[in-house]
A and B are shown apart, each in its own frame.
Chain A
Amino acid sequence: MDLLNALVAFLNFVVIPAASYGAQLAVGALGVTLIFGILRFSNFAWGDTMAFGTMVVILFTWLFQSLGISIAPLPTALLALPFAILITSALLLGTDRVVYRFYRKQKAKPIILVIVSAGVMFVMNGLVRIIIGTEEQNFADGGRFLISAGDFKAWTGLAEGLAIKGTTAVTLVTALLTMAALFWFLQKTRTGKSMRAFSDNEDLALLSGINPDRVVQVTWVIAAALAVIAGTLYGLDKSFRPFIYFSLLLPIFAAAVVGGLGSPMGAVAGGFVVAFSEIVVTYAWKKVITYVVPQAWAPDSLMQLLSTDYKFAVSFSILIIVLLFMPNGLFNKGK
């Protein structure tokens, strides 16, 4: 019984939160890795692109709520996604046309593009703060819990509850569908194949008649969709604050680098690696351990390896270890 309780506590406090956080990071990292693969730079504006997309989702959610449109028990934000993707795509395509294209034609060094993306970051950050302000916004509506801790305890008679939030389920399903759609697109469609070809070898792709402008445009549209989805899932699960999205850059970059920049499969794996490590290292294991070990050995301290404040230190350490020992990432051995 105690082992079962330990397992439930482990699932409830480690596996489920990490899976949902991992899915959010994975979708975000897919965007970073795609932009890196096709446009060949690390996009520092990515966190703020996510914030922008989420902001549009929030605005549409408010609109739908005021019109009385809802898709309960699902959150209204899901209904707003397509509209936000449309607007964010327009923004990214516009940014590419006005800003990035010039440097691409010049074949500027990647580091120049990184600095340019920092400028774009400022602009997007300013836009978000001007339009929606800096305060925290909660926009999750719809069903709160799929399974509540109380119900679970009543069904099973265990001391530990297992709660699955509505947003967790929404995150996992949406992220899974997004990844499936993206991989289908990259593997099966003509455009997707041309994108992969372009990412693998630009010159060869150009020789075989692939239109680079089209590849770049498609990339931005997909990136916009990924930014909106990742940002919205994160915002539904936690809450929306513009500056939090900027600091998501680090775990997302870590996820993309762990998997190998440019490798979509790696980005997904990297997202989960980072999320699980972050939560395993910062979780207070006292409860789980108390269930498993005999009474006399029960720990006094929290049994926490690192305080949750340092969760970024975990993504950072993973990043550094990978950069030092496997610079091409876990999934890019061939290169």
Chain B
Amino acid sequence: MNTRAIYLFAGVGILYVLTGVLLSWNVSLNILILGLLSAIMALGVNMQWGYAGLFSTGIVGSIALGGLAVVFVSGNPVPEAFAAGGWQAISGLAVAVAGIAAAVAAWTYMSPGRARNLAVAVILIGGFFLYRGIFDPAVERIEAFDPATHGNVGGFGLNSIWAWPVGGVFAAVAAWAIGKIALGLREDYLAIATLGIAEIVITAIKSEDWMSRGVKNLVGLPRPWPVPYEVDMQADPGFLAFCANWGLNPTTTSTLAVKGIYIVMFAIVLGLLIWLLQRALNSPWGRMMRAIRDNEVSAAAMGKDVKRQHLIIFILGSAVVGMSGAMYVSMLGQLVPGEYTPLRFTFLIWIMVIVGGSGNNWGSVLGGLLVGWLWLIVDNAGPLIMGAATAGMADGALKSHLVDVAPQLRLLTLGVALLLVLRFSPRGLLPEK
């Protein structure tokens, strides 16, 4: 941390304070919560890009997988649905995984030739039909159970704080699979391939109703420990007495208190991550990663296994992003698959990393808080500003169109901001040392 960083962080802090004073503290704290989450996502992306130079456009996939973890870990159990087809669905998926593994093994261990191609094709095609044969009827039975409120296989009903690490693991497993395939290809092929895998993950979450109820949204996921519910707080005599004692409004106080608890929790996670990452970055491992990033050929000549290190950092970065995705859903209390768009959850995070300063952890945090604020303030202040700007205009189609599209201005603004930073200050607001 140098003076520049302190000034910049203070500036961002002033933005949040101004939001609190001018709009409302509720909005300001809400944005801060999401800003902290964005900062964690940006840290994960910075590990991949800043440490290793890997450009992945599948961030939204990791975030969504993290969210899915909350559904499995904390979703209400639906024993009837699980009894109807849970084990069968799991064995169907196991068959699919085994089939792919067998095909990969056949490809690796058989000698090249027609026999190998035939074997791989037979395993894959046969495995596909076997998987569909086992899996489809199970899913049909699960989805048939009480489709109005359930239709999903249910979760373990555990506290959703357990879902955070699980979300990281989900994303890590996916990253391992995609990394095995796509790392080592040309760098822009990695970008295209990750774009595709993210699209598939999102499609699965949207359309596999047995898992997450798809676009019907899975609601009622529990809050992570130790966050209380506002209604419970307002019913608690101790809390009411406390409020009466200090002359506070119980409703406002409870909402602000809940937000405050989230902020503290997320800040602790962020702080731990930064501490770990800074230590890693200054360790021999961090030096090796930078050496690989700056010159792969010479690092390879020094005996470093570039591909393996890329895979490791890709998995670790995705795990951090996946964990933040789980934190996000556990806070929202619901999984809304329609929310996961690449623009919002992939490219916006990229803007945070690059504007903040590639390769610098504090830069990513700054970018997350700053760009996150810019993005979200528009939801709250955009219509107000556009309303003021168009106040002098006659009412009509143009005016209502302008007010309607006001939120879209942020795409334009952030795109221009990214281009300006890349052009004039490519190392970002807080450059790597």
Contacts and interface: CB of A to CB of B under 8 A. Distances in A.
Interface of A: 41-42, 44, 99, 102, 109-112, 114-116, 118-127, 129-130, 133-134, 243, 246-247, 249-250, 253-254, 257, 301, 305, 307, 309-310, 312-313, 315-316, 319-320, 323-324, 327
The 3 A-B residue pairs whose C-beta atoms are closest, nearest first, are A122-B415, A126-B412, A126-B411
B199 A119 contact: no
Contact of A125 (B55, B204, B411, B416): B411
Contact of B188 (A114, A123, A324): A114
Interface in B194-222: 195-197, 199-200, 203-204, 206-207
B409 A44 contact: no
B374 interface: no
Interface stretch (B160-168, B269-277, B418-426): B418-426
Given A310-B200, A310-B203, A313-B203, A243 B341 contact: yes
A42 B192 contact: yes
Contact of B200 (A114, A133, A307, A316): A316
22 contacts: A41-B188, A44-B57, A109-B187, A114-B55, A115-B350, A119-B351, A121-B347, A122-B414, A123-B419, A124-B415, A125-B343, A126-B413, A129-B405, A130-B405, A130-B408, A133-B404, A134-B408, A316-B199, A319-B193, A320-B193, A323-B185, A327-B185
Interface in B378-419: 401, 404-405, 408-416, 418-419
Judged by DSSP, the binding face of A is helix
A10 to B, nearest CB: 21
Interface of B: 53, 55, 57, 128, 136, 181-182, 185-189, 191-193, 195-197, 199-200, 203-204, 206-207, 341-343, 347, 350-351, 354, 401, 404-405, 408-416, 418-419, 422-423
A253 B200 contact: no
B347 A324 contact: no
Nearest to B207: A309
B354 A129 contact: no
Contacts of A133: 401, 404-405
Nearest to A304: B132
Contacts of A309: 203, 206-207
A94 to B, nearest CB: 13
Contacts of A119: 351, 415-416, 418-419, 422
Contact of B196 (A111, A118, A130, A316): A316
A59 to B, nearest CB: 13
Given A42-B191, A257-B192, A123 B199 contact: no
Given A129-B411, A134-B408, A310-B200, A320 B341 contact: no
Contacts of B53: 111
Contacts of B189: 257, 323
B296 to A, nearest CB: 12
Contacts of A324: 181
Nearest to B358: A115
A315 B410 CA distance: 31
B236 to A, nearest CB: 44
B347 to A, nearest CB: 5
Nearest to A315: B196
A19 to B, nearest CB: 24
Given A110-B188, A111-B55, A323-B189, A102 B423 contact: yes
Nearest to A308: B207
A330 to B, nearest CB: 16
Contact of B411 (A41, A122, A305, A310): A122
A99 B419 contact: yes
Given A250-B195, A253-B192, A319-B196, 9 more contacts: A44-B57, A111-B53, A119-B418, A122-B347, A130-B408, A257-B192, A307-B207, A309-B207, A316-B200
A130 B409 contact: yes
Contacts of B191: 42, 44, 111, 114
A246 B189 CA distance: 18
Contacts of B204: 310
B112 to A, nearest CB: 11
A247 B415 contact: no
B200 A312 contact: yes
Contacts of B404: 133
A246 B346 CA distance: 13
A158 B235 CA distance: 72
A128 to B, nearest CB: 9
Contact of A116 (B341, B410, B422): B422
Nearest to B192: A253
Contacts of A323: 181-182, 185, 189, 193
B131 to A, nearest CB: 12
Contacts of A109: 187
Nearest to A114: B188
A246 B342 contact: yes
B89 to A, nearest CB: 16
A262 B341 CA distance: 29
Contacts of B412: 122-123, 126-127, 130
Contacts of A44: 57, 191
